[in-house]
């Protein structure tokens, strides 16, 4: 009687071919004695019916019932309303930590394997926040913005996952990759929460590295890292770079872990150029499946399968996209048959994975939450309104805009303190060489003698209202202090 139900979405293109092969392999390893796979409808066929989420309501509810989704690659329609199923699924179900491992595999030749450098580390990428909020607006004729949101509880969830996983893996050091030297507040928060989370794991050393230096270090000396935690967009880019270190996306498994629902997937695309030919490489999906088996406590089956895969790769068996071309190229099913024939065998040139006599733990699906949770880190901080930034669509030159804004601020508690354009101060001081576009930030702060906290945000809204009589106000942001600390950044050049 199966103990675990897993929602199964084979995907598009080569997805069904590599998924069938992977399931065939899992069956041979005894996985189906413990697992029931529940087919769900997601992907191109669902988009084609006009469903812009690419997944049916039934697929959503079945996945929520199972708590685990095993998926093949899925195509995102170009243009139109169709959104990436991968991004939708991660965000919908709060699968906040994208966990990807990068390991040199026998038989998969890379510049590093040729140089005798063994690559073995993992990336934990924050999966929900950052620019992936998809909050984008056209602000003026010439300017579009994408809001980058980073929250303390969002950071805390991903950092806790990283340290807990590092502890289970017995890692000695975890790095945080970031750009806090430039994005001092958003990446600054990501880094600060990393350091705070690390204090609960005293046996693990912490380090941090600016993301551009990280890319250089990874290419030059990848073996210096064990685990790196990154914000969403930087993690997306860096993890593909890392896949390149071990032979490409076909060898880099991916798990998206949440508190309730987790998603295991191949990270390569649907490979439309070879779809239907039965020649796709199933290794990435198999490796992601191994992560899934370990997640549901089928450690013995995962270890057996991993050893069989390593022994097969070591023997030189390969699909058309990699490997020793002097050896015959196998199609998807032949490749999986070779792995099946190695079940019970162990690799000889790389360490075998220890196979336990049995599984000691069982997977329990977390209970469905009663309602949507509001997650919070900081509560009840003392905040005071100290001004506002008003964003304007205007073709005026800074000096003319300043005259207009000063007039608007008369008879209010505010004075104009700054005008910036694309983040660079252009008033009260600036350079004639700074080019301006048609979108300004105008900053108003309390006049001398006005006490912070003596009024709320309505005075800022009244000022905005006054400005809106003459200008197009695109948006406004309150300037507040939190426990006396400014909750806003300075402009470049201020
Ligand atoms: P792709 O990964 O599908 O293909 C890039 C190249 O790699 C192709 O030459 C392809 O044949 C090869 N390739 C990829 N996976 C392979 C495998 N397992 N075995 C052998 N060769 C393989 O990238 P693309 O062409 O940019 O994207 C095609 C479609 O996939 C797009 O619709 C895109 O949106 C989608 N996509 C989906 C995912 C996902 O679901 N995780 C990820 C990336 C792209």
pLDDT of residue 355: 94
Q: Which residue has the tokens 């038989």?
A: 107
∠ CA 25-30-31, rounded to 5°: 75
pLDDT at 88 exceeding the cut of 90: no
Closest residue to atom 6 of ligand 1, CA basis: 271
Closest residue to atom 44 of ligand 1, CA basis: 269
Closest residue to atom 2 of ligand 1, CA basis: 269
37 CA → ligand 1 middle, Å? 24
Q: Which residue has the tokens 């309505």?
A: 458
Angle between helices 398-409 and 458-468 (to 10 degrees): 130
Nearest-CA neighbor of 343 among 306, 316, 298?
306
Q: Which atom of ligand 1 is nearest to the CA of 280?
A: 19
pLDDT of residue 493: 73
Closest residue to atom 4 of ligand 1, CA basis: 271
Torsion of CA 452, 454, 456, 460, to 10 degrees: -70
For the residues 181-193, what does the mean pLDDT come to? Answer: 97
Residue range 317-358, pLDDT digits in tens:
999 999 988 889 999 999 999 999 999 999 999 999 999 999
∠ CA 252-256-258, rounded to 5°: 160
- The count of other CB atoms within 10 Å of the CB of residue 397 is 11
Closest residue to atom 31 of ligand 1, CA basis: 75
Nearest-CA neighbor of 23 among 269, 268, 270, 289?
289
> Residue 360 and residue 355: Cα distance in Å, rounded?
12
- Name the band, by pLDDT with cuts 50, 70 and 90, for residue 134: confident
pLDDT of residue 81: 65
- Name the band, by pLDDT with cuts 50, 70 and 90, for residue 1: low
> Residue 8 and residue 62: Cα distance in Å, rounded?
10
387: which residues sit within 8 A by CB, 6+ positions away?
Answer: 414, 417, 443, 444, 445, 446, 460, 478, 479
- Within 6 A (CB) of ligand 1 lie 14, 18, 73-76, 86, 249-250, 265, 267-274, 280-281, 321
Q: Which residue has the tokens 């993301």?
A: 211
255 CA → ligand 1 middle, Å? 18
∠ CA 122-128-132, rounded to 5°: 105
The length of the chain in residues reads 494
For the residues 88-109, what does the mean pLDDT come to? Answer: 94
Closest residue to atom 5 of ligand 1, CA basis: 271
The fraction of the chain above a pLDDT of 90, given in percent, is: 87
116 CA → ligand 1 middle, Å? 29
pLDDT, averaged across the chain:
94
pTM for the full predicted model:
0.94
Most distant pair of Cα atoms in the chain: their distance: 84
pLDDT at 79 exceeding the cut of 70: no
Q: What DSSP designation does 222 have?
A: G
In Å, how far are 367, 388, 419 from 443, measured between CA atoms?
48, 6, 6
Query: Which stretches within 342-430 are classed as H helix?
Result: 398-409
Report residue 369: phi and psi, to 5°: -65, 150
| 3-class secondary structure, 447 | coil
The fraction of the chain above a pLDDT of 70, given in percent, is: 99
| 3-class secondary structure, 4 | strand
Output the six-digit token pair for 213. 């230096």
Q: Distance from CA of residue 6 to its chain's centroid?
A: 22
End-to-end C-alpha distance for the chain, whole angstroms: 67
Q: Which long-range contacts (CB under 8 A, 24 or more apart) does 368-375 make?
A: 368/64, 368/260, 369/260, 375/153, 375/154, 375/157
pLDDT at 301 exceeding the cut of 70: yes
Output the six-digit token pair for 493. 């050049």
H/E element, 477? strand 472-482
For the residues 269-282, what does the mean pLDDT come to? Answer: 95
**Which among 268, 278, 336 is the best mutation to test ligand 1's pocket, defined by most ligand atoms within 8 Å of the CB?**
268
């Amino acid at each position: 009687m199966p103990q675990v139900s897993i929602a199964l979405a084979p995907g598009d293109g080569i997805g069904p071919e590599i998924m069938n092969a992977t399931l065939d392999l899992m069956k041979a390893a005894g996985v189906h004695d413990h697992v029931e796979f529940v087919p769900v409808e997601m992907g191109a066929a669902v988009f084609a019916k006009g469903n812009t989420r690419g997944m049916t309501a039934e697929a959503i509810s079945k996945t929520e019932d199972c708590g685990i989704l095993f998926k093949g690659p899925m195509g995102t329609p170009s243009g139109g309303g169709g959104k990436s199923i991968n991004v939708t699924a991660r965000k919908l179900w709060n699968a906040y930590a994208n966990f990807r491992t990068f390991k040199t595999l026998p038989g998969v030749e890379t510049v590093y394997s040729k140089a005798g450098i063994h690559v073995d580390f993992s990336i934990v990428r924050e999966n929900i926040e950052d620019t992936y909020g998809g909050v984008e607006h056209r602000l003026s004729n010439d300017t579009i913005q994408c809001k980058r949101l980073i929250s303390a509880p969002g950071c805390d969830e991903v950092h806790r996952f990283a340290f807990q996983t590092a502890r289970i893996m017995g890692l000695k050091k975890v790095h945080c990759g970031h750009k806090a030297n430039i994005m001092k507040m958003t990446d600054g928060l990501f880094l600060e929460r990393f350091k705070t989370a690390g204090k609960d794991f005293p046996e693990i050393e912490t380090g941090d590295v600016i993301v551009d230096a990280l890319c250089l270090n990874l290419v030059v000396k990848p073996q210096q890292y064990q685990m790196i935690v990154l914000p969403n967009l930087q993690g997306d880019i860096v993890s593909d770079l890392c896949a390149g270190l071990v032979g490409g996306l076909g060898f880099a498994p991916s798990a998206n872990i949440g508190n309730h629902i987790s998603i295991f997937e191949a990270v390569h695309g649907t490979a439309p150029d070879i779809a239907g030919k039965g020649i796709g490489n199933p290794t990435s999906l198999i490796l992601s499946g191994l992560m899934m088996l370990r997640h549901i406590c089928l450690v013995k089956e995962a270890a057996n399968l991993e050893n069989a895969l390593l022994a097969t790769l070591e023997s030189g068996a390969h699909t058309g996209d990699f490997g020793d071309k002097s050896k015959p190229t196998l199609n998807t099913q032949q490749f999986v048959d070779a792995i099946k024939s190695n079940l019970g065998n162990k690799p000889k040139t790389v360490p075998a994975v220890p196979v336990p006599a049995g599984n000691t733990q069982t997977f329990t699906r977390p209970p469905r939450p009663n309602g949507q949770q509001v997650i919070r880190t900081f509560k009840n901080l003392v905040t005071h309104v100290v001004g506002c930034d008003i964003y304007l669509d205007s073709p005026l030159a800074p000096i003319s805009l300043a005259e207009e804004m000063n007039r608007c601020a008369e008879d209010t508690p505010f004075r104009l303190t700054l005008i910036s354009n694309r983040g660079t101060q252009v008033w009260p001081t600036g350079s004639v060489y700074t080019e301006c576009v048609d979108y300004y930030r105008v900053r108003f702060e309390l006049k001398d003698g006005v006490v912070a906290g003596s009024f709320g945000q309505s005075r800022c809204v009244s000022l905005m209202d006054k400005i809106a009589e003459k200008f197009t106000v695109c948006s406004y942001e309150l300037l507040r202090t939190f426990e006396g600390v400014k909750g806003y950044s300075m402009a470049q050049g201020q």
